[in-house]
């Protein structure tokens, strides 16, 4: 998790679920159950510290801790941990599938107005099946539209510094046969000004119950450009990415700061081998903020497994009444 061998909101949650299962096995191997809770709490704390912005991480860990506590014996606790981990993964896949169906309706509405021309969707970072158990969040509606025969084309932000868009999303779309074009992160606004973008769909690592959206750095700028050009800006997310404890995303969501080397260096392929090279003066410092927060007033709507809603507390709670205050 820390080294981002697995990344993306849904996959972080699923990995944390299985991480807690492994932690339960380790805790159960202790001589007596007396130290079980302490060992498991330590494992949970270590996992939570790996990616502080993604709420799926703490959500999965807290869900595991609650369920594991119901076991009376070590064997019961291990069985509960494994069952919960499997359920988290299965739910993630199904929720993303449903996000695809609800988002498909939005793309279909735009397609009806375009007389057979492709619907141009802009996305940022990678919120595809490489970031979830399957389907993805932001990509699920795109795949659903493509599979149903609707003409779609995707503008893929490269998403510096780790280039999850150009490396991951572009690869995913290519494997699925979806027409796409990789663009520089700063090109989205230009395309919007010239009518080349019909819809923006992004994912999220944490969205507050009031509708503020934390996502990969650069998302906020896309939302500003979309607002200025009257282009709908949607956020696709499973309910596990909703933060029911945080009201003000800008003030309260912790923003992960990663190492400067990610900014100062770039990976690529040269003659069939991967190479890493410095792209800044060696002595120049670099700041590497992993995420930013898009305020709710810039978000047209949220695409969830239960349907589409506005990015405000009233609409979100109406869709998820079990979380009423």
Active site residues: 205
Which are the contacts of 98, defined by CB distance < 8 A and separation ≥ 6? Answer: 305, 306
User: Can you tell me the distance from the alpha carbon of 222 to that of 113, in angstroms, rounded to the nearest whole number?
Assistant: 24
Give which of 156, 99, 171, 93 is closest to 125, Cα–Cα: 156
DSSP structure string for 55-73: HHHHHHHHHHHHHHTT-SS
Classify 119 as helix, strand or coil: strand
Q: How many CA atoms lie within 13 Å of 180's alpha carbon, on the beta-carbon side?
A: 29
Beta bridge partners of 216: 291
Q: Is the Cβ–Cβ distance between 205 and 9 less than 8 Å?
A: yes
CA distances from 133 to 106, 128, 156, 190, 262 (A): 23, 9, 21, 34, 26
Residue by residue, DSSP assigns 287-304 as --B-EEEE-GGG--EEEE
Cβ distance 123 to 157 under 8 Å?
A: yes
Distance from chain centroid for Cα 102: 17
């Amino acid at each position: 998790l820390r080294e981002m061998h697995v990344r993306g909101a849904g996959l972080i949650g699923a990995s944390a679920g299985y991480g807690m299962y492994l932690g339960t096995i380790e805790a159960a191997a202790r001589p007596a159950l007396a130290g079980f809770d302490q060992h498991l709490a330590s494992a949970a704390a270590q996992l939570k510290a790996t990616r502080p912005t993604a709420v799926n991480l703490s959500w999965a860990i807290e869900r595991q801790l609650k369920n594991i506590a119901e076991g009376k014996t070590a064997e019961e606790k291990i069985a509960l941990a494994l069952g919960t981990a499997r359920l988290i993964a299965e739910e993630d896949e199904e929720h993303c599938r449903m996000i695809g169906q609800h988002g498909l309706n939005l793309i279909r509405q735009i397609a009806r107005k375009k007389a057979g021309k492709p619907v141009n969707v802009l996305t940022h970072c990678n919120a595809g099946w490489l970031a979830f158990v399957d389907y993805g969040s932001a990509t699920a509606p795109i795949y659903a539209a493509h599979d149903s025969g609707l003409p779609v084309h995707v503008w893929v932000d490269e998403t510096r510094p780790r280039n999850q868009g150009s490396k991951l999303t572009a690869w995913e779309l290519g494997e699925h046969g979806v027409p796409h074009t990789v663009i520089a992160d700063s090109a989205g606004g230009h395309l919007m000004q010239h009518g080349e973008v019909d819809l923006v769909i992004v994912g999220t690592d944490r969205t507050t119950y009031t509708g503020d959206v934390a996502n990969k750095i650069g998302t906020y700028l896309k939302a500003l450009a979309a607002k200025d050009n009257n282009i709908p800006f949607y956020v696709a997310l499973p309910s596990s990415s909703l933060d029911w404890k945080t009201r003000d995303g800008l003030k309260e969501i912790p923003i992960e700061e990663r190492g400067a080397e990610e900014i100062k260096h770039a990976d690529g392929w040269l003659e069939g081998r991967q190479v890493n090279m410095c792209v800044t003066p060696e002595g120049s410092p670099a700041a590497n903020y992993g995420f930013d927060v898009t305020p709710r007033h810039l978000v047209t709507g949220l695409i969830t497994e239960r349907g589409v809603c506005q990015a405000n507390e009233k609409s979100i709670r109406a869709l998820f009444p079990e979380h009423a205050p």
